[in-house]
């Protein structure tokens, strides 16, 4: 099974979260969960940073060999 690149999935999830937050049906809700859209956005940002760091480390290791 071919899986998409994890970084692409994270970026897609970030885009979708942004679209959910902007959606008028979402904005019309009186919704106050313990974890918010902002929390999800932050978690995905941290994950994206970690992936980018690991990707850069892999590139550096490959070029130094």
Q: What is the pLDDT of residue 62?
A: 77
Give yes or no for a contact between 52 and 21, defined as CB atoms under 8 angstroms apart.
no
This prediction has a pTM of: 0.81
Residue 2 token pair: 């071919």
Instruction: Report whether pLDDT(1) > 90.
Output: no
Q: What is the pLDDT of residue 61?
A: 76
- Mind listing the pLDDT tens digit for each residue in 6-65? 999 999 999 999 999 999 999 999 889 999 999 999 999 999 999 999 988 888 777 876
């Amino acid at each position: 099974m071919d899986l998409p690149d994890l970084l692409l999935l994270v970026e897609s999830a970030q885009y979708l979260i942004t679209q959910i937050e902007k959606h008028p049906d979402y904005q019309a809700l009186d919704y106050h969960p313990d974890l918010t859209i902002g929390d999800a956005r932050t978690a995905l940002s941290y994950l994206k940073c970690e992936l980018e760091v690991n990707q850069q480390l892999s590139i550096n290791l490959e070029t130094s060999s």
